[in-house]
Structure 1
């Protein structure tokens, strides 16, 4: 993903999150947002979307990972092979703790094994942690 693609995605995310309407008062100086980009093996986008839709998002919620939004690019070269999403965490430490729990969560481990028995979904994933600026719109 080049810089222009990332900027387009971040602009779309800002618009979506503004529409979501979470009050700024819920955002503390510790709050972090995590941008995750999954580059997928050919043909795996529908499968990973189904996994997120049906079970994975519920695991995130159970572990304290608040979803902000999920996107799929419409332009090549990312279309049909990329999943982009953003999570909100109470702090960077909370994010680290949640991901540590996620990786060993029995429900997640079983779900991943079941859904990827015919091949892994993700070739490469990227994660970027971000903090809101003082002039940012409500997220």
Structure 2
């Protein structure tokens, strides 16, 4: 298993729009494409409270490539993303890391 840690740093004041998009659009499209989330988090204390951090679980790099590419090119996602950004850009920066569990990790 591979976990992907993603941090979305929002344009100031746009975190509510990002949360709404995930809740009402993105998760349904991920289900359609077989993308499995492993948790979503907002920052209580840290560098910025305008971030959404989440993790995705992948079987392999090939699994990620296939499913993520299909999601990103889905016409429903492209249209929904454009609609949700009619009032302006939501995400200013995305950081992504692909992680593999250690031999002593409780997550395998």
- TM-score above 0.5: yes
TM-score, scaled relative to structure 2:
0.93
Match of 2:12 among 42, 52, 72: 42
Structure 1 vs Structure 2 CA RMSD = 1.2
Q: Secondary structure at the match of 2:17?
A: helix
Is the contact between residue 4 and residue 55 of structure 2 (CA under 8 Å) also seen in structure 1? yes
Query: Which fold has the larger relative contact order, with Cα–Cα distance below 8 Å and residues 6 or more apart in sequence?
Result: 2
Q: Are 2:15 and 1:55 equivalent residues in the alignment?
A: no
Task: Give the drift of 1:76.
Answer: 4.4
**Which structure has more helix as a fraction of its residues?**
1
Aligned residues: 108
* Mapping for residues 104-123 of structure 1, pairs under 5 Å: 104-123=73-92
Hey, what's the Cα distance between the residues in 2 that align with 1:76 and 1:37?
A: 13
Extract unaligned runs of 5+ from structure 2: none
**Which structure has more strand as a fraction of its residues?**
2
TM-score, scaled relative to structure 1:
0.73
Q: Secondary structure at the match of 1:36?
A: strand
Report runs of 4+ in structure 1 exceeding 6 Å deviation: none
